[in-house]
A and B are shown apart, each in its own frame.
Chain A
Amino acid sequence: MTTDFDHRLSATFDEIVGHTPDIGPTPSLIVQLGTAPGPRRSRARLVYAASAIVVSAGGVLWVTTAGDRAAAPASMLSVATTPLTPTDPAEQQRADDFVARDVLAQHREMRTQVGLDDADGPAPIAAAPWATDPVPVRGEDRPNPTGGPTLFPVLDSPPLDIRILGASILYESVSLRAQTKAVVARVEDDGSMSELYTFVVGEGAVAYEDLGVVVDSTVPEVVELSGFRYAGWSVDGVPVVVMATDPLELLDDPGFSMRVGEDDRGNVTVTYPSLPPDFTELVAPQALARQAATARLRLIVPEAESDVGAVWAGLDNPLANTNLTEGTTITPTEVNERGAWIVSNAETDHRSVVFSPDDVSWLLVGWIGTEADLLDIAGAIEFTPADQIGAWMTRYDVTLPAIALDPTPS
C-alpha cells in the first residue's frame, strides 16, 4: 500500500536525483586498461599525497629522521608477508621511477601553482592565489601544562596575522581516483569560516567547486612547531590540522620524530623522542577533545634500513590519541585471514586492524573503534593483489613516499 510517506520518499529521491551530474565523456582507460590499478598508481597517490600533506583530526605527521634498525620489531614485520607478495618487478620499477621523477615534478607543479620557484623555501601561508587577503586569527599562547613549549594559541587574544590557507589540503584529500582533492576554507574576521571549496589537484589543472557549505565549527588555531606553522580548525566536528608549509621540508625536519621499537616482551612500542612530553596536546587540543569514540589510527612502519623510522598520525579521535603517548604499547594479537593484523591498545582498550600489504613499503593504517566497526572494515576491504593499495588509499589520505618494508624478521 502506498502511503503518504512513500510519496514523500519518492519525491525526495526525485530531488536528489535531480542533482545528478552529467556523465561527461567516457573515462580514460590509459592507466587502467589491461591492468587494474597497481602499485604505480597507488604509489602515485601515495607520494602525491605526501606532497600535499594533510593531517586531520588534529593528527600531525611525524617522521623519524633517526630510525633505528634495531628498533624495527621483527615480530611486527613478520606479519607483513603473504598473501600480498609483489609479483611484477617491472611495475615496482615504474613505481620507483615515479617516485624519483613524477612526484617531484608534481610537487614542483604545485609550487608553481602557488607562485613559488623551485629554489624558494617552504610555501608561505599566504602563497595561495586564492588567499588574497590576510585573515587575522587572534590567539594567545596556551600554557603547556607540563612546562614544555607552548603549543596552541587560542582565540581572542593578541592578533596573529596569518593567511589561511596556502597550499592547504584538508583531510580526505586523497581519493582513489587519479586526482587529489583538496578543501580550502576561508576564515572571516571574526574567526568563523564561511566558505568551503573543494578543488582537484591533478593533471595540472585546479578546478574549484563551490560546495556552498558553511562550516559550522570553527576555532582556527595556529600552531608553530620547529619553525613551521599550521592552521587548524574543526570542520563539522572533525578536527583538522592543515600544514601550511612545504611537506618535503617537514620530512627533513628533525623536530618531528617517532620511533617504533620493541620492548622486552616483544610488543611494538612507539616513542617520540623529539617531541615535547605532552605532544598529545598537539593532536588533541582541549577544544577538540570531545570527539566521537570512533577513530582511525595510522601507523606506517617503513624499512629498517631507512633513516626514516616510522610515521604515525592519529585521526578522528583525539581521546584515543592522547593515550598514544611515549611508551604506549601496541600489541599484535592476531592476523586475520586477509592478512590484516589486529592489534590492541592495552591502554585504551581499542583494537585496530592493521593491514600489511607487503609489496611496498608501509604497513598499515588502522581503525580504532568498536569491534563491529573493526570487523566490518576488515571485511570490506578487498585484498586483491592488483588494487589493494588503491583500496587503501580510498580510506586513508595521509601517506608517505614509498619506503620499502623489510618483511623478513631479523
Chain B
Amino acid sequence: MGMDVMQPPRLVALDDHNRLVDAAWRTHAPAAMRFATVLVGPADAHDITTTAFLRVVGQPAWTEIDRLDRYLLRAVRNEAQNLYRQRRRRWQRDLAALRPDVVADSIPDVDLLRAIAALTVRQRSVLFLAYWQDLTEAEIADTLDLTRSTVHRTVVRARTALRKALT
C-alpha cells in the first residue's frame, strides 16, 4: 500500500507535460487567437483562447486528441458561445472598437464589419473558416463538430443576413 502512495515519477511527468503544453500553445494558439478575435473581438480574444486552451490541456488525455488544432478551435468556439449570450451587447461594443474612429484607415468595409459583428458566434465561426481559412464545408463541419448540412445552412443564412444588413 505504501508503494501506491509514493509517486516519484509524477514530477518528471509533470515537467514533460508542461513542455508538451508549452509546445501546444506555441503551435496552436496563433490560429486559436485569430479565431477568438473574430468571434469575440480583440479585447477578449486572449482571455477566451487562454481559457479554452487550459480547459483542453486540463483533460487527462489531451495529448491523445486527434487534430488538437481543431479541438482547440471548438473549445474556443464553445467559450465564445458561453459568453456570447451574456455579453452580446458588450462584444458588439468591443467589435465596434474596430470602427472607423479607431482604425479609420484600415477598415475597408465598415458596414460589412458591423454586419459581421451582429452575426451569431456560429455564423461568424463558419464564415471565418470558410472565407479566411478557406476550409470546405466538410472541413468546417469536422472542425466545429457540426453536420455538413448545418454548416451549409449556416453559411447561407449568414450570407443572407449580411446581404440584408448591407442593403
Contact = CB atoms under 8 A, between A and B. Distances in A.
A12 B109 contact: yes
Given A5-B163, A380-B82, A12 B113 contact: yes
Given A211-B93, A213-B93, A236-B89, A394 B82 contact: yes
B18 interface: yes
Nearest to B110: A12
A21 B48 CA distance: 11
Given A26-B21, A237-B89, A394-B83, A13 B96 contact: no
Could you tell me the dominant secondary structure of chain B's interface residues? helix
A29 interface: yes
A203 interface: no
Interface residues of A, number: 55
A377 B37 contact: no
Nearest to A397: B86
Nearest to B93: A213
Contacts of A14: 132
Contacts of A140: none
A297 to B, nearest CB: 13
B103 to A, nearest CB: 8
Contacts of B163: 5
B87 interface: yes
Nearest to A211: B97
A9 interface: yes
A18 B103 CA distance: 11
B51 A177 contact: yes
A196 to B, nearest CB: 8
Interface string A383-410: 0000100010011100000000000000
B116 interface: yes
A209 interface: yes
A236 to B, nearest CB: 5
Contacts, number: 153
A18 B106 contact: yes
A314 B159 CA distance: 36
Interface stretch (A32-40, A81-89, A100-108, A156-164): A32-40
Contacts of B98: 15-16, 19
B38 A17 contact: yes
A23 interface: yes
Contacts of A32: 54-55, 57-58
Given A26-B22, A27-B53, A32-B58, A172 B86 contact: yes
Contacts of B57: 29, 32
B74 to A, nearest CB: 13
User: What is the interface residue range for chain B against chain A?
Assistant: 35 or more
A396 to B, nearest CB: 8
A172 B21 CA distance: 29
Contacts of A209: 43
Given A13-B132, A23-B25, A237-B89, A8 B112 contact: yes
A387 B55 contact: yes
Interface string B57-99: 1110000000000000000000101110111011011111110
B33 A23 contact: yes
A93 to B, nearest CB: 20
A72 to B, nearest CB: 28
Contacts of A391: 82
B158 to A, nearest CB: 9
Contacts of B50: 27, 177
A11 interface: yes
B164 interface: no
B58 A33 contact: yes
A36 B55 contact: yes
Given A20-B42, A212-B102, A380-B82, A13 B33 contact: no
B5 interface: no
B148 to A, nearest CB: 20
A16 B86 contact: no
11 contacts: A5-B159, A9-B116, A10-B131, A17-B132, A19-B103, A20-B45, A24-B46, A33-B18, A33-B58, A172-B87, A236-B89
Interface of A: 5-6, 8-24, 26-27, 29, 32-37, 172, 175-177, 179, 196, 198, 209, 211-214, 235-238, 296, 373, 376-377, 380-381, 387, 391, 394-396
- Kindly list the 7 A-B residue pairs having the minimum CB-CB distance in the complex, ordered from nearest: A23-B29, A13-B132, A26-B25, A19-B42, A20-B37, A26-B22, A32-B58
